[in-house]
Amino acid sequence: MRTSDFDFDLPAELIAQFPAEKRSGSRLLCLDGDSGATQDRQFRDLPGLLAPDDLLIFNDTRVIKARLNGIKASGGKLEILVERVLDSHRALAHARASNAPKPGTRLLLEEKIEAEVLGRQADLFELKFFGDTPLPALLERHGKLPLPPYISHAADTADEERYQTVYARAPGAVAAPTAGLHFDDEVMRALAENGIAQAFVTLHVGAGTFQPVRVENTREHKMHSEWYEIPQATVDAIRETQIRGGNIVAVGTTALRALESAARKYELAAGCDDTDIFITPGYRFKIVNKLLTNFHLPRTTLLMLVSAFAGREHVLAAYRHAVAQHYRFFSYGDAMLMTRRKIRA
C-alpha cells in the first residue's frame, strides 16, 4: 500500500488555530462506512445519533506540560519535549538542537532545572533530572503545554483549559485525544439522560501521532509506541453491550487503538501494555463498531486507520466534502462520526 494513496489537498485557512467558542459548538460530519453517504450535523446532535444500548469509550489521559526550553553546557540552545515519564527523575524526550546532545551532556532547562543526557533509544533521548522535586511536579510548575506543530501560537491559559478533555484524569500524554475536546457538561448530561453508557480507557498519546509516514511503502513504516490501560470495568461494560446488541463507540482513534491492541492476540482482557499497532485498510476490527474522530493530517497513520474503518474512497470523498463545506480541520477543528465498513468474504 502506498502512502501517497492517503493524501489530500487542504487550504491552510481550514486548519483550526483556536477551538470553537463552545466545546459542543463544533460541526459533525456523519459518514456511513458501507454506502459512503454523508450527513452534515452539529456536535450537540450526537446524543440523538446514538442508541440507548450503545457504549461510548473515552480516553481519560491528561496532557502534561511537556515542553521545556534550555541550553547545553556548551551554551547551545535546545528544546525538549518529554515523550514519556519513566520514573520520578527520568524521562524519554525529543530534543531539538543544532547539534544533538551526546550522553553525558548537562542541560539547564527553563533556567531552573538541571538534567543530564544518559543515552538514546532510537529517536528519543533518555534524560535524568536532578533535585528532590519529582519530575511530574517539575513539568507542571515549569513546563509548557505542547500544542500541535500546525498551531501557530504559543500555548496560553485558554489552551491549558481547552486542550484538555473535561474528563481528563491520568497525566501522561503530550497530545490531546482530540475527539474528546468537543464534549462538555451539557452533552455529557444529554448522553446520560438518553441512557447511553460510558466507559474509559487510558492511552498516553505521543508526539508521533502528528508525524507523516516518510516511506512510500507503508509496510516499511515503523510505528511509534504508546502506553495504554484497559480497566476491568470497561471490559465488563463492553461484554454487556455486545450481548445486548449495542454498538461500541470509540471516542477517538486513541481509544480505538487501545481496545484493538488489547484484543489482538486473545479475547479482550483488562490490563496495561505498550502498543505499536498500525491499522491500515484490510484490518478486521474486533471491538469497535462506530468511531468519533476529528479530521486527520494527510499521509499519516491516523488517516490510514480511519480509511481502514470506513473505506479509503469513502473517507477521502468525505474529506473533499468537508473542504468544500469549510469544515475546520485537525485538533481544534470539527468532528466526524463513522460507522464501520463491513468487510465481506
Domains of the chain, by residue range, sit at 3-63+159-339, 67-142
CA 135 → CA 142, 261, 322, distances in Å? Answer: 10, 29, 42
Positive or negative, the Cα torsion across 175, 295, 152, 210? positive
pTM: 0.95
- The pLDDT of residue 212 is above 90: no
Averaged over 278-292, what is the pLDDT? Answer: 96
- The pLDDT of residue 276 is above 80: yes
Distance CA 15, CA 177 (A): 17
pLDDT in tens, 128-187: 999 999 999 999 999 999 999 999 999 999 999 999 999 999 999 999 999 999 999 999
- The pLDDT of residue 4 is above 80: yes
Does residue 171 contact residue 91 with C-beta atoms inside 8 Å? no
Distance CA 264, CA 234 (A): 17
Distance CA 280, CA 200 (A): 24
- pLDDT score of 231: 97
- pLDDT score of 344: 62
Q: Which CATH number fits domain 67-142: 3.90.1150.10, 3.40.920.10, 2.60.40.1180, 2.40.10.240?
A: 2.40.10.240
Residue bearing cell 515542553? 67
What string of DSSP letters covers 160-173? HHHTS-TT--EEEE
Mean pLDDT of the chain: 95
- pLDDT score of 140: 96
Domains 3-63+159-339 and 67-142 share a fold: no
Averaged over 39-64, what is the pLDDT? Answer: 98
pLDDT in tens, 93-133: 999 998 999 999 999 999 999 999 999 998 899 999 999 99
Q: Domain 3-63+159-339 - what CATH class?
A: alpha beta
